[in-house]
A and B are shown apart, each in its own frame.
Chain A
């Protein structure tokens, strides 16, 4: 997510974390889809992406949602679904 800057001025770089891994980006805004491309391999559709917002509930980030990037912003992923069990058959 780095870009060439012909003016020679080093762009401002933001340090963000996804699943506790730090990434350096220069964009001031990123969509959910772009954030999903930062890790290697990228975050797949089997996991949801969330933004940690201090003092508030975590925000689920959809692919088209635009996130303002600031230093220290933190994201995490979680399994997107879980299977309801069978009450009689499963373990107790």
Chain B
């Protein structure tokens, strides 16, 4: 699968270190050394986003980090307890789901999804304060 043009532009223009791979029907976008907010157990981790067939009309669902993230105080982050294997690696699954209609086809893409992930990271990290 070729990424939609806005997604390819997003990755290129931001200079994000990434790889794209197929995993069955899923297109995997792996963002290396993603910078994390303070309040988590590590400063950077690899971020995996899996795009289902039908994307970008259909939204991504969940995302994955390696290594696994916890709060800096050791606390577990809600709905991240499951680990899965993708692309030959073990990943911590962040179980996060949109409400119907929340994803706007034709507008949303990797840019907005990554912004949402960052916001959720900040929200979780702040919960340890």
Q: Is the interface of A mostly helix, strand, loop or mixed?
A: loop
Which residues, 74 to 123 on B, are CB-close (under 8 Å) to A?
78-79, 81-82, 84, 95-99, 102-103, 107-108, 111-113, 115-116, 118-120
A58 CA / B102 CA spacing, docked (Å): 21
- Report whether A78 and B120 are in contact in the complex, using a CB–CB cutoff of 8 Å: no
A50 CA / B79 CA spacing, docked (Å): 26
Chain A residue nearest to B96 in the complex (CB) = A82
Contact partner of B112 (CB less than 8 A), chosen from A46, A60, A77, A86, is A77
- Report whether B102 and A79 are in contact in the complex, using a CB–CB cutoff of 8 Å: yes
- Report whether A79 and B82 are in contact in the complex, using a CB–CB cutoff of 8 Å: no
Cβ of B62 under 8 Å from chain A? yes
Beyond A77-B112, A78-B113, A92-B84, whether A86 also contacts B95 by CB under 8 A is yes
Beyond A50-B115, A76-B115, A78-B108, whether A87 also contacts B98 by CB under 8 A is no
Beyond A78-B112, A86-B95, whether A46 also contacts B82 by CB under 8 A is no
A48 CA / B81 CA spacing, docked (Å): 28
Chain A interfacial positions (CB closer than 8 Å to B): 19-20, 46, 48, 50, 54, 57-58, 60, 76-87, 90, 92
Cβ of B53 under 8 Å from chain A? no
B102: A residues at CB distance < 8 A:
46, 79, 82
- Report whether B108 and A84 are in contact in the complex, using a CB–CB cutoff of 8 Å: no
B103: A residues at CB distance < 8 A:
79
